[in-house]
Amino acid sequence: MARIILQDPTKKIRPRVYSCPRHYLSAFQTLIQQHLDAGRIRMSKADSASPAFVIPKKDPTVLPRLVIDYRALNANTVKDKFPLPKLDDILDLAGGAQYWGKIDMTNSFFQTRVHPEDIPHTTFTTPMGMDWLVMPMGFCNAPSIHQHCMVKALNHLIGKSCHVYMDDIIIWSQTLQEHCQNCAAVLDALREADLYCSPKKTELVTT
């Protein structure tokens, strides 16, 4: 569960509200409704909020990206120091393997819930105002918290048959039989921790 510990709990965020262009208003409302339906956000009663806006993607048929400007919140947040692994160390461990696999997590930050006491800190501006119930993108400690969550779930396997870097889990083995066992062990650990991966972005066996 994600904690948001403030350096100054009395400090309120009352920034300028960004206007949404009329031709993106419908998409903005659709994005908000999708998050509501998924149980990721709720209507807010907080008196402090971060500004939200949308950024269009290259494909005009795809919904734009919802972005929340958490700079003021991040500046007032006690930083989580949990380290990310060095990519060179991961490559050294996996470099001599004959088989590899990659698991990509689904909406990785959204899989961690925000502590009930800290939910009001996540409020963002919409016509109604919304709170995040899950860890939002743009929050400064989200990468460290997610890495900590993944390491906790896979701690007994990391460095032996897999490693974790943010959204990605790398699995390596010397034989196909060993690789099947290693992949099964990782998937079992994710299931035990109630963590979900993306089948479309997952490749379990490559050589």
pLDDT tens by residue, 119-137: 999 999 886 789 999 999 9
Q: Strand 99-104 vs strand 168-173: parallel, antiparallel, or unpaired?
A: antiparallel
Question: What is the separation, in whole angstroms, between the first and last Cα of the chain?
Answer: 37
- Phi, psi at residue 91, to the nearest 5°? -65, -35
What does the pLDDT average to over 180-198? 96
**Residue 195: its H or E element:** none
pLDDT > 70 in the chain, percent: 99
Residues 151-164 as b/e (b if ≥16 CB within 10 A, e otherwise) read eebbeebbeebbbb
Considering the domain 22-206, what is its CATH architecture? Roll (3.10)
pTM > 0.85: yes
**3-class state of residue 98 by DSSP:** coil
Query: Which residues does 83 contact at the CB level (< 8 Å), separation at least 6?
Result: 144, 147
**3-class state of residue 25 by DSSP:** helix
Structure confidence at residue 15 (pLDDT):
67
